[in-house]
């Protein structure tokens, strides 16, 4: 681009972020424009200091055929109890990782959790191993829009774990009162603004829909949680609330979280480490307080600097 263009305009979030002439342009400068400068404040609760955490999820040569978000060979270690951010530009494959691990798109490679392989392509098997997923596509994948809040919250847990049932065997019925009680607790805990647990989720705002998605995932009581684009289409107030919830669960229950987002700022706000995906591969892993320039270079495909980052706070 630098070789052929006279002037370079950088677009970010659908608006012009800045223009530079070729004479002034450097990779770093463009990278800064691509990322946006504001480094958010990090005001996170501390976590208990302990021994160097073990690896809870190990990806080797993961290839995912997700149209538009192809993953072309990812090696990644997720440590027990951390929040790992996954960043990258749209279409580079960052969304494919979670979808591939959960078996929603055809994938190859090895995925190990807790030392034993996760069955690729078997969503039920993966969910049963204590992995949960909040999809980037809230309306198409994340929710049953015409069903009630309570059905959305407990549906997956009832199916995967056989919870919220009265009795056992194939004729066990859903336990309405247990479901209602759980849903009401979640509505309060997650501050879901609604008319009650029987309201259809279609009627909720984007932020509250997202909270329902998170409530559904947390109901599974996962040890490892994939969350993709949790703040997309969510108003500002709810955005913070969603991020706080993730941090809270991470700190209180020790849930390992792999947080994929297009907004680097929010990743830097809550993550322990941030892996940057480009062209379907991990280009590097950076601490959240790494300079913008480093992020920008990795976003652009890692040409120039290549750093193997290790945990930010570790």
- Give residues in contact with other proteins (CB under 8 A): 102, 104, 123-128, 133, 135, 137, 140-147, 151, 155-156, 158-160, 162, 165, 170-174, 202
- 219 Cβ contact partners less than 8 Å away, ≥ 6 residues apart: 153, 154, 156, 157, 182, 186
- 5 Cβ contact partners less than 8 Å away, ≥ 6 residues apart: 22
Residues in the chain: 314
Q: How far is the CB of 282 from other proteins (least distance, A)?
A: 24
- 181 Cβ contact partners less than 8 Å away, ≥ 6 residues apart: none
Q: Which of 175/191 has CB closer to other proteins?
A: 175
Q: What spatial distance separates the first Cα and last Cα of the chain, rounded to whole Å?
A: 37
Q: Which of 171/188 has CB closer to other proteins?
A: 171
Helix (H, G, I), strand (E, B) or coil at 112: strand
Q: How far is the CB of 178 from other proteins (least distance, A)?
A: 13
Q: Which of 156/244 has CB closer to other proteins?
A: 156
**How many CA within 13 A on the CB side of residue 270?**
30
Q: How far is the CB of 122 from other proteins (least distance, A)?
A: 8
What region, left, alpha or beta, does residue 143 occupy, with left being phi > 0 and alpha being psi -120 to 50 degrees?
beta
Q: Which of 97/102 has CB closer to other proteins?
A: 102
Q: How far is the CB of 27 from other proteins (least distance, A)?
A: 37
Q: Which of 104/246 has CB closer to other proteins?
A: 104
Helix (H, G, I), strand (E, B) or coil at 290: coil
Q: How far is the CB of 145 from other proteins (least distance, A)?
A: 7
């Amino acid at each position: 681009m630098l070789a052929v263009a006279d002037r370079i305009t950088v677009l970010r979030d659908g608006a012009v972020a800045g223009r530079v002439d070729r004479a002034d342009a450097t990779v770093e400068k463009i990278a800064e424009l691509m990322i946006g400068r504001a480094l958010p404040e990090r005001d996170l609760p501390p976590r208990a200091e302990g021994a160097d955490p073990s690896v809870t999820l190990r990806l080797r040569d993961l290839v995912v055929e997700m149209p538009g978000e192809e993953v072309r060979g990812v090696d990644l270690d997720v440590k027990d109890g951390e929040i790992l951010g996954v960043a990258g530009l749209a279409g580079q494959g960052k969304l494919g990782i979670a979808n591939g691990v959960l078996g929603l798109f055809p994938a190859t490679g090895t995925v190990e959790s807790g030392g034993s392989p996760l069955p690729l392509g078997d969503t039920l098997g993966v969910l049963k191993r204590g992995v949960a997923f909040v999809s980037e596509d809230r309306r198409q994948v994340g929710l049953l829009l015409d069903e009630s809040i309570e059905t959305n919250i407990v549906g997956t847990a009832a199916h995967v774990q056989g919870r919220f049932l009265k009795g056992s065997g194939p004729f066990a019925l859903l336990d309405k009162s247990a479901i209602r009680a759980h849903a009401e607790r979640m509505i309060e805990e997650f501050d879901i603004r609604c008319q009650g647990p029987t309201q259809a989720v279609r009627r909720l705002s984007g932020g509250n829909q997202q909270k329902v998605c998170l409530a559904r995932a947390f109901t599974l009581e996962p040890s490892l949680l994939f969350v993709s684009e949790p703040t997309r289409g969510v108003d500002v107030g709810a955005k913070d609330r969603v991020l706080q919830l993730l941090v809270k669960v991470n700190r209180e229950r020790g849930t390992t979280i792999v947080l994929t987002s297009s907004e680097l700022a929010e990743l830097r706000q809550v993550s322990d480490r941030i892996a940057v995906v480009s062209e379907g591969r991990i280009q590097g892993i950076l601490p959240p307080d790494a300079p913008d320039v480093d992020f920008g270079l990795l976003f652009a495909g890692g040409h120039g600097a290549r750093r193997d980052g290790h945990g930010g706070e570790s």
